[in-house]
Amino acid sequence: MNRERILKLNEMLKASCAGELEVREGDTRIRIRRMPPAPSEPPCSVGSAGDGAGPPAEVDPLVDATIVTAHIVGLFHRGTAPGGAPLVEPGDVVSEGQCLGTIEALRNFTEVSCPVDGTVVGVLVEDGAPVQFGDPLLAVRPK
User: Could you read off the pLDDT of 56-65 as tens digits, one per residue?
Assistant: 555 555 667 8
What is the pLDDT, as a whole number, of residue 8? 79
Reported as a single tens digit per residue, the pLDDT across 112-134 is: 999 999 999 888 888 888 998 88
Q: Does residue 59 come out as left (phi exceeding 0), alpha (psi in the -120 to 50 range) or beta?
A: beta
How does residue 22 score in pLDDT terms, banded at 50, 70 and 90?
confident
- By percentage, how much of the chain surpasses pLDDT 90? 23
What the chain holds in terms of domains, given with CATH numbers, is 1-60 (no CATH), 61-143 (2.40.50.100)
What is the pLDDT, as a whole number, of residue 93? 92
- How far apart CA 59 and CA 62 sit, in angstroms, is 9
Task: Calculate the alpha carbon distances from 88 to 3, 32, 99, 120 in Å.
Answer: 28, 29, 9, 8
Q: What is the pTM of this model?
A: 0.56
Within 13 Å of residue 95, how many CA atoms lie on the same side as its CB?
0
What is the pLDDT, as a whole number, of residue 7? 78
Closest by CA position to 138, among listed 87, 104, 85: 87
**What's the average model confidence in pLDDT over 12-39?**
70
